[in-house]
């Protein structure tokens, strides 16, 4: 059968799809035509997502690529469904990270920020931002993010800065912001307080030192990994019910090396089963000790400065904390205070996220948000169902944080950021100034030198980006936002803060409309194929920009989306990216075939009675696919949606329908025209379904497919970005056609397997008789079946050497001269012998009562599977041997 010929009017596509040739052009075309800007039509339902703002210093890493892909899939689908869809982009000013970048640049010039002064330094940062910051925005374009660039925001913009000042003022006036000395995370390198999310814990090698405090019966042994902090101890704590130390509670013991005597206090925080049951208490340098100190009114002794240098008077003064640690241990050993040998001890240690310096807890005068009433509201919003978390099991993690949240340290000792709007007067006055108020002036008045934690401004992101505190049309229309997509790893730090601030700022809207988002979709971390976290030290980090360069944005996006389901980590490998590129190529080649043979989305699909069973089958399968994809997307099961689309596109459309269509196209006439219409219709719907995940290749193919017009769209406005999302069409459901083609598929698959087992080459033609096909449902498919299986008609000298029953049809083949029967028999007999050996071995184990009694159940299950596999192999090999010609 000759290949169908290309009609003269068919649009041409390049022979191969080269992503780099089309991605940039298509993206700029979409932006120029305003496709990503919401229409604002009053009859369209609003749908909005605010992007988790990447740092202005950042580059697109694989976590961003996953997060952005998921959001883009959601927004593109809703846009196609007719929603007034807004995906709002922007960046975070990243206080610590950005200041570090600029300070490193200054250091190359032999300068520090103090050489410039605050105002000049901030101007320098703005200049850096204009010249070098925000590279990630261009990288988002390369990924295909369909964000509305006309609404791009930055946390230091004038409008967002106004929102920050307004929120601070309102919280301050309501008594929810205060200044106090509290224990905080401190970075001795960045010289600033850190939020919890800016501290990364890693297992470090340390030493556990056991130290005896006091002498004789009135002594206690404590263990610590930070021996230098004992210089600041102000108590030893034991559990009140610990009988070993009851006689010591209320007494004092001598603190070694210092000559000070410190009390023994009873506190329920102490675990009597851990170590010796006695713990040293250093309120100024440990968060748990700080709380013990507050409960027992203990003094807090600062023994380090902000650089981590010992300030306590004595022989250790002036030493760095890590220099002081062994020096203190040596002095304790010389004094006979080391109770037992120092032991290696690996434990979790906090490091600054920006510079990797070990964090030092220390008491410091800082600004705090009193979170209890705000956190309670955030908790209630989820418990009441006004905010839904996907997957629901992660709601427990949300509650575990929000229900036990500590007051939030919001001040940072930086120059880059939103400066705290509080002024101090010459006579101790403290004045908080709102954005519309004039700050106090005159001799002796100074503004607080700290800036606000970056998470303070990003916590306002859903409202500030839409114009709050002004009551803007955007705020009225797009708030609450529809969904928040983010990783479960920042559920606590960012999501909770947005919930607290949104509910507080928008409370006048009432409970239902004050929430910042209706749904929270939490995805997992991207990991390698073995489930290992990506790390430079492991050598398994994936650079999405590298994948985009080599495989295209579509392949990169599909690889990420095909592993993404709510709450689950996403495994990826480069082989999967290559497979995604191959999928795009497969779709490209099938589309070229359809276009070369006159397929067009403009052709109307004829009534069912004028269609072949293959046409009706693919339309019925398409109807099922659309429903499956809709259900998966509605449940945020992106992996299931991708799996369903790929299985249909590759397995059913490309591998089966395109091959079956060749028969109709070659025959010509009405059958060929009907098939062209079905090809065009199915491709049109398939490209629409796949567009949110793979926007570039689908757009290029769809533009070619719809050159004749479709859906009444004007030629100049034709784009999948704004094309209608397909709906299931029940009229196309056809169980009879599906059963008929399923029978054809079974027959072709079985014969292909037989040919492969017999060692026949895929293209090798074999004479065959299809006995019984003329009276069954496959009668009309005999030409297609012979084409698919490379089967020639049986001639006068035909002699069946193999017979294969499949359903109602018996396929007889004449393999004489096509295979070495003797060699094939030897190969099959060898394989049969191995299969029988495997079966007998498994059978012996399963017949051994002792094995069944002692072996773990998974091992027994594995042997059962081995037995079943061997039995199936034996049956298959025996059938193949029986089908071989005699001799």
Q: What is the pLDDT of residues 250-263, one digit of tens each?
A: 999 999 999 899 99
- Sheet of strand 261-266: strand arrangement: 252-254, 261-266, 235-238, 278-281
As a 3-state breakdown, the chain gives helix, strand, coil percent values, each rounded to 5, of: 50, 15, 35
The 10s digit of each residue's pLDDT in 781-838 is 999 999 999 999 988 888 888 888 888 899 988 887 676 677 778 888 898 999 999 9
Known binding residue 536? Answer is yes
Contact indicator for 49, 727 with CB cutoff of 8 Å: no
What's the farthest any 2 CA atoms get from each other in the chain? 117
Dist. CA 879–CA 875, nearest whole Å: 6
Q: Residue 371 phi/psi, 5° resolution? A: -90, -15
pLDDT-derived band at 712 (thresholds 50, 70, 90) equals: low
Contact indicator for 584, 590 with CB cutoff of 8 Å: no
Reading the block at residue 695, the tokens are: 């926007």
CATH class label, 821-887: mainly alpha
Q: Output the pTM of the full model.
A: 0.85
Q: Range with the lowest mean pLDDT among 10-19, 96-105, 660-669?
A: 10-19
CA trace torsion 155, 160, 165, 169 (10° rounding) = -110
- Sheet of strand 388-390: strand arrangement: 388-390, 517-523, 481-487
- The residues that bridge with 235 in the sheet, in sequence order, are 281
3-class SS of residue 505: helix
CATH architecture assigned to 573-733: Orthogonal Bundle (1.10)
Please tell me the predicted confidence (pLDDT) of residue 464.
98
- HSE (CB half, 13 Å, CA atoms) of 255? 22
Q: Of all residues in the chain, what percent carry a pLDDT higher than 70?
A: 96
The 10s digit of each residue's pLDDT in 358-379 is 999 999 999 999 999 999 999 9
Dist. CA 14–CA 29, nearest whole Å: 20
Q: Which of 700, 592, 606 is nearest to 4 (CA)?
A: 592
DSSP E strand stretches across 197-241: 199-213, 220-224, 235-238
Whole-Å CA distances, 491 to 236, 377, 457, 809, 815: 37, 16, 16, 59, 65
Q: Domain map of the chain by residue range?
A: 192-361, 573-733, 746-819, 821-887
- CB count within 10 Å of CB 449 equals 12
The 10s digit of each residue's pLDDT in 569-590 is 888 899 999 999 999 999 999 9
Reading the block at residue 677, the tokens are: 């219409």
Question: Do you know the residue count of the chain?
Answer: 887
Q: Which of 92, 93, 90 is nearest to 145 (CA)?
A: 90
* Paired sense of beta strands 192-194 and 177-187, if any: antiparallel
Residue 6, pLDDT > 50, answer no
Mean pLDDT to the nearest integer, 193-218: 86
Please tell me the predicted confidence (pLDDT) of residue 827.
80
Going by CATH, does the domain composed of 192-361 fall within 3.90.740.10?
yes
CA trace torsion 75, 81, 86, 91 (10° rounding) = 10
Contact indicator for 753, 632 with CB cutoff of 8 Å: no
């Amino acid at each position: 059968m000759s290949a169908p010929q290309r009609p003269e009017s068919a649009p041409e596509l390049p022979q191969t799809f080269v992503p780099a040739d089309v991605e940039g052009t298509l993206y700029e075309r979409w932006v120029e035509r305003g496709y990503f800007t919401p229409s604002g039509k009053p009859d369209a339902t609003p749908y909005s997502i605010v992007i988790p703002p990447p740092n202005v210093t950042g580059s697109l890493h694989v976590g961003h690529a996953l997060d952005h892909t998921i959001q883009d899939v959601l927004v593109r689908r809703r846009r196609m469904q007719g929603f007034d869809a807004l995906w709002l982009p922007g960046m975070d000013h990243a206080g610590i990270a950005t200041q570090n970048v600029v300070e490193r640049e200054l250091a190359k010039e032999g300068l520090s920020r103090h050489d410039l002064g605050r105002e000049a330094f901030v101007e320098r940062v703005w200049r850096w931002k204009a010249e070098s910051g925000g590279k990630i925005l261009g990288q988002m374009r390369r990924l295909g993010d369909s964000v509305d660039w006309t609404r791009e925001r930055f946390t230091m913009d004038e409008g967002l800065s106004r929102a920050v000042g307004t929120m601070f003022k309102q919280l301050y006036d309501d008594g929810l912001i205060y200044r106090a000395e509290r224990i905080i995370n401190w970075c001795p390198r960045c010289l600033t307080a850190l939020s919890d999310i800016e501290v990364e814990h890693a297992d470090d090698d340390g030493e556990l030192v056991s130290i005896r405090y006091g002498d004789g019966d009135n002594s206690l042994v404590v263990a610590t990994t930070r021996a230098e902090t004992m210089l600041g101890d102000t108590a030893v704590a034991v559990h009140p019910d610990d009988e070993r130390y009851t006689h010591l509670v209320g007494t004092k013991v001598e603190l070694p090396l210092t000559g000070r005597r410190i009390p023994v206090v009873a506190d329920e925080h102490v675990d009597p089963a851990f170590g010796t049951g006695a713990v040293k208490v250093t309120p100024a340098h440990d968060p748990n000790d700080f709380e013990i100190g507050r409960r027992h009114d203990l003094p807090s002794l600062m023994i380090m400065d902000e650089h981590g240098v010992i300030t306590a008077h004595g022989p250790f003064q002036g030493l760095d904390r890590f220099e002081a640690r062994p020096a203190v241990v040596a002095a304790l050993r010389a004094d006979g205070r080391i109770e037992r040998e120092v032991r290696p001890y690996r434990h979790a240690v906090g490091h600054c996220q920006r510079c990797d310096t070990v964090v030092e807890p220390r008491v410091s005068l800082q600004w705090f948000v009193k979170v209890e009433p705000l956190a309670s509201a955030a908790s209630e919003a989820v418990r009441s169902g006004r905010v839904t978390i996907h997957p629901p099991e992660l709601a427990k993690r949300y509650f575990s944080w929000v229900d036990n949240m500590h007051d939030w340290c919001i001040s940072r000792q930086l120059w880059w950021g939103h400066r705290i709007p509080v002024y101090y007067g010459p006579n101790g006055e403290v004045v908080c100034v709102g954005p519309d108020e004039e700050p106090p002036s005159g001799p002796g008045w100074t503004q607080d030198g700290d800036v606000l934690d970056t998470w303070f401004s990003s916590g306002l992101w859903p409202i500030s980006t839409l114009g709050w505190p002004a009551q803007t049309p955007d705020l009225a229309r797009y708030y609450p936002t529809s969904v928040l997509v983010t990783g479960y790893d920042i559920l606590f730090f960012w999501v909770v803060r947005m919930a607290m601030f949104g509910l507080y700022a928008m409370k006048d809207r009432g409970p239902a409309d004050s929430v910042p988002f209706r749904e929270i979709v939490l995805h997992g971390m991207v990991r390698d194929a073995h489930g290992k976290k990506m790390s430079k030290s492991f050598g398994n980090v994936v650079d999405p920009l590298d994948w985009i360069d080599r495989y295209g944005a579509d392949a990169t996006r599909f690889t990420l989306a095909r592993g993404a389901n709510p709450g689950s980590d996403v495994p990826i490998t480069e082989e999967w990216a290559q497979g995604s590129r191959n999928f795009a190529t497969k779709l490209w080649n099938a589309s070229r075939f359809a276009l070369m043979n006159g397929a067009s989305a403009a052709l109307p699909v004829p009534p069912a009675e004028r269609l072949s069973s293959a046409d009706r089958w693919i339309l019925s399968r398409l109807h099922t696919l659309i429903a499956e994809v809709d259900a998966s997307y509605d449940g945020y099961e992106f992996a299931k949606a991708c799996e369903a689309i790929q299985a249909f596109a590759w397995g059913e459309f490309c591998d089966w329908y395109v091959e079956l269509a060749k028969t109709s196209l070659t025959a010509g006439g009405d059958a060929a025209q009907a098939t062209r219409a079905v090809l065009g219709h199915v491709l049109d719907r398939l490209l629409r379904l796949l567009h949110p995940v793979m926007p570039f290749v689908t757009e290029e193919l769809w533009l070619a497919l719809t050159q004749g017009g479709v859906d009444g769209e004007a030629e100049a406005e034709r784009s999948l970005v704004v094309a209608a999302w397909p709906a299931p069409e029940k009229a196309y459901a056809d169980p009879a056609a599906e059963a008929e083609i399923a029978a054809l598929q079974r027959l072709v698959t079985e014969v292909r397997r037989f040919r492969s087992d017999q060692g026949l080459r895929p293209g090798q033609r074999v004479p065959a008789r299809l006995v019984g096909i003329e009276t069954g449902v496959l009668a009309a498919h005999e030409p297609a079946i012979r084409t698919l299986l490379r089967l020639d008609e049986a001639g006068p000298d035909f002699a069946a050497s193999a017979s294969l029953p499949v359903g109602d049809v018996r396929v007889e083949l004449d393999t004489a001269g096509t295979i070495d029967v003797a060699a094939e028999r030897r190969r099959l007999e060898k394989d049969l012998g191995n299969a029988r050996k495997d079966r007998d071995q498994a059978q012996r184990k399963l017949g051994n009562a002792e094995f069944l009694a002692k072996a773990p159940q998974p091992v027994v299950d594995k042997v059962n599977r081995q037995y079943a596999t061997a039995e199936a192999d034996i049956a298959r090999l025996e059938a193949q041997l029986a089908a071989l010609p005699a001799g």
